[in-house]
Amino acid sequence: MPDDAPSILLHDVRVLEEDGGFSGETDVLVEGGVVSAVGSALAAPPGAPVYDLGGLWLMPGVFDCHAHVALSTMNESELLRAPVTYGVFEAARNLSVTLDAGVTHLRDAGGADAGARRAVAEGLAPGPRLQICVKLLSQTGGHGDMYSERLGVEPDPVFRDLLTTADGVEGVRLAVRRLLRAGADWIKLATTGGVMTPHDTAHDPGFTKEEIEVAVAEAARRGKAVMTHAHGGEGIDLAVAAGVRSVEHGTLLDERQAAAMAAAGCWLVPTLSIIRDLIDSTLPENDEKPLAPTYALEKVLELRECFGESVRIAHAAGVRIALGTDWLERRQHGRNLEEIALLHEAGMPLEETLLAATSGGAELCGVDDLYGRIAPGHVFDAVVLGEDPSDVSVFRRPSAVLEVFKAGAGCKTGSTLLAERGPAQRGAAE
């Protein structure tokens, strides 16, 4: 933490505890950006402000473990026309609204590079702390292959910052090493097809057993893990057997595969938000342009038939679940906490859902020693809610997030909470 990180005392706030429930009104003392105590009648250090948060709720900063914060559209013509610098400024906006939503950590699933991560870390742009995979790695003809028949270009230059392809054990090894050289914290594979590419389906496998194994091994040599885009079938089987850390989407997951994931310690990041938006955008009453292109509409209808089922199956099998939205359009960034409501509605108990969004995400991302809890020794990244989160509809209302803390500093754009609730001085005896 920086030496000038603030020291503050939050008074009489309900705090998310390690069992996923909220405490009665209690105090939280933050010194140097780190929680130093949680309890009653705590004393603030000399000169430190005290904020009375009576009647409010406090939870750790949310982890979105699958989003594309550098993307604002998937419309090819728009991407071709826009200057590169415009995309950079839109990415900065996306980072800012995502932080304002309460997301203090984000695992970017393709598009954000080492420059974005550095800009946030050095304070050049407000945003959640970033872990990046740089690009999605696909086999030729797989989900991440956006080959342009019209241009005869591979990959399509519109998506070259998002996707790359490799084939064969040595080809995959080289591609993984190049992504690590580019600063990847994670390697992301596509081990099945998907919705948004024209030449594959969610059932189609991507990469062979040997190709997946070499990707996992090369990442592990550098202390990194592999996340995989996979909907179902052989692509999940091979990925889990090879030792991937998390399966992204998993919409066609079955009970046998869930049992294998649980036994292997492999996580599921269901990304219900993007799937819900894809489905909703195809409904006749929706007056916005569908998110999915025409060739993908049949695939979207298939996902509608099993929406949320993977969460029920995974939860019943004991698979660890983390929150991820897969947001990739400007109209979506900043709505990240909706995923909490969707996970709960898909069958996860509320307490487990809140932990999946906080301490679970921290564990998946390998930073749970410092983040994801309101507890002594943990960095004070937190969200203040003005409405009772036992009603999950709260997470569909961005206005419910009154303040966001990052390393002890309030950082939500336009928030007046701290001005309204303090500062004041309070002694330990009061």
Pairing of strands 186-190, 267-269: unpaired
Q: Choose among 95, 98, 97, 135: nearest CA to 116.
A: 95
Tell me, what's the pLDDT at 76?
Answer: 77
Q: What residues contact residue 170 under an 8 Å CB cut-off, 6+ apart?
A: none
pLDDT digits (tens, 9 = 90+) for 281-324: 776 566 666 676 666 677 787 888 889 999 999 999 999 999 99
CA gap 113, 323 in Å, rounded: 21
β-bridge mates for residue 30, sequence order? 8, 35
pLDDT digits (tens, 9 = 90+) for 373-425: 999 999 999 999 999 999 999 999 999 999 999 999 999 999 999 999 988 65
Number of Cβ within 10 Å of residue 24's Cβ equals 8
Coil, helix or strand at residue 403: strand
Coil, helix or strand at residue 187: strand
Q: Could you tell me the fold of the domain covering 62-364? A: TIM Barrel (3.20.20)
Per the prediction, the chain carries an average pLDDT of 92
DSSP 192: B
Q: Choose among 115, 136, 138, 10: nearest CA to 68.
A: 136
pLDDT digits (tens, 9 = 90+) for 305-317: 889 999 999 999 9
8-60+372-421 and 62-364: same fold?
no
Pairing of strands 50-52, 57-60: unpaired
pLDDT digits (tens, 9 = 90+) for 226-265: 999 999 999 999 999 999 999 999 999 999 999 999 999 9
pLDDT digits (tens, 9 = 90+) for 30-59: 999 999 999 999 999 999 999 999 999 999
Can you tell me the mean pLDDT for 344-358? 97
For the chain, give every domain's residue range: 8-60+372-421, 62-364
Q: Could you tell me the fold of the domain covering 8-60+372-421? A: Urease, subunit C; domain 1 (2.30.40)
- What does the DSSP assignment read for 341-391? HHHHHTT--HHHHHHIIIIIHHHHTT-TTTSSSSSTTSB--EEEESS-TTS
Predicted confidence band of residue 429 (pLDDT cuts 50, 70, 90): very low
pLDDT digits (tens, 9 = 90+) for 97-124: 999 999 999 999 999 999 999 999 999 9
Number of Cβ within 10 Å of residue 192's Cβ equals 31
**Cis amide leading into 284 (omega within 30):** no
CA gap 140, 108 in Å, rounded: 23
- Segments of 250-367 assigned E as strands: 267-269
Single-letter amino acid code for the residue at 152: G
Q: Crossing angle of helices 309-317/255-264, nearest 10°?
A: 50
Tell me, what's the pLDDT at 203?
Answer: 85
Is 138 a residue whose pLDDT tops 90? yes
Predicted confidence band of residue 161 (pLDDT cuts 50, 70, 90): confident
CA gap 177, 204 in Å, rounded: 26
Tell me, what's the pLDDT at 153?
Answer: 54
Tell me, what's the pLDDT at 147?
Answer: 66
**Considering the chain, what percentage of its residues have pLDDT values greater than 90?**
79
Q: Choose among 203, 212, 204: nearest CA to 167.
A: 212
Note whether 308 and 346 are within 8 A (CB). yes
Tokens of 296: 């993908």
CA gap 405, 333 in Å, rounded: 19
Predicted confidence band of residue 136 (pLDDT cuts 50, 70, 90): very high
Q: Choose among 34, 30, 26, 24: nearest CA to 49.
A: 30
pLDDT digits (tens, 9 = 90+) for 85-95: 999 999 999 99
Can you tell me the mean pLDDT for 259-275? 97
CA gap 163, 111 in Å, rounded: 8
Tell me, what's the pLDDT at 299?
Answer: 77
| CA dist list (Å): 357 to 102, 166, 339, 407, 418 | 11, 33, 9, 18, 25
Is 428 a residue whose pLDDT tops 50? no
DSSP 289: P
Instruction: Give the gyration radius of the chain's Cα atoms.
Output: 22
DSSP 429: T
CA gap 362, 382 in Å, rounded: 13
Predicted confidence band of residue 4 (pLDDT cuts 50, 70, 90): low
